[in-house]
Amino acid sequence: IMGVETAVLLAQELNRTLILPPIMPNMHMRNNTHQRWSQFFDIPRFTNTTGIKVVEWDLIRPLTPEQKHVGRDQALLGAVYGQAAETPAWSKIAENITCEIICGYGSDHQDLSFVGLNFLRHFLFRPILQEPRPWLPGMKAFKNTNAKGMAYENDLEVFDDLVQRYRDVDTHVLWLSHVFHIKDRGHNIDRYWVNIG
């Protein structure tokens, strides 16, 4: 839930529509149940109350039963063969996506999370990871420390820093490699609740 709250607040701050993926199993369960958030939450009411536009992933990229089967097999086999291994069936239909490295996830010093990898495998995406947008003169400087306490210059994980770097990005879709560990330094810890409930 905390990752979703962060993503919703980011969407609000960046004036973007949040594409909400289905609830994904944790790292020890790789079988995608494709449970939609709308099965548990009143999304239209949430949008009416907050003004934050939300679209569910299944409406953006619906998968056929055959595609779901291929994605599930890739997720199950990915744990056995490693992150880079692709089944022939998956490799034929997977699409490349450009994904911004956030909190170091997907960089040369930290892999994507299991949940992120399983999402990509289930939904037939091959990430092309790129460094975060550069810090530019005139931007406020934030001290970035990665989730494991190791400092890397390009690890972008402070909420306000992320917002200032991506506010003017005009790409149609903005993929972020991770949102759960984004830190909200200098603000009340309840800012997510105050702004989005």
Backbone φ, ψ for residue 53 (5° rounding) = -80, 130
- The residue ranking higher by pLDDT, 107 or 197, is 107
**Lookup: tokens for 13:** 């701050």
194 pLDDT more than 50: yes
124 pLDDT more than 70: yes
Q: What is the pLDDT of residue 145?
A: 46
CA distance 92 to 90: 5
Tell me the mean pLDDT in the region 79-90.
72
Q: What is the pLDDT of residue 146?
A: 45
28 pLDDT more than 70: no
CATH assignment, 2-196: 3.40.50
On whether the CB atoms of residues 163 and 14 are closer than 8 A, the answer is yes
Q: What is the pLDDT of residue 133?
A: 84
- The pTM of this model reads 0.77
Q: pLDDT over 70 for what percent of the chain?
A: 76
Q: What is the pLDDT of residue 197?
A: 61
Q: Please tell me what DSSP assigns to residue 165.
A: H
CA distance 80 to 68: 19
Q: What is the pLDDT of residue 20?
A: 84
The residues facing 96 across adjacent strands are: 126
pLDDT for 95-114, tens place per residue? Answer: 999 998 888 788 887 788 87
152 pLDDT more than 80: no
Strand, coil or helix: what is 19?
A: strand
Q: What is the pLDDT of residue 147?
A: 44
pLDDT band per the 50, 70, 90 thresholds, residue 176 = confident
For the chain, domain boundaries: 2-196
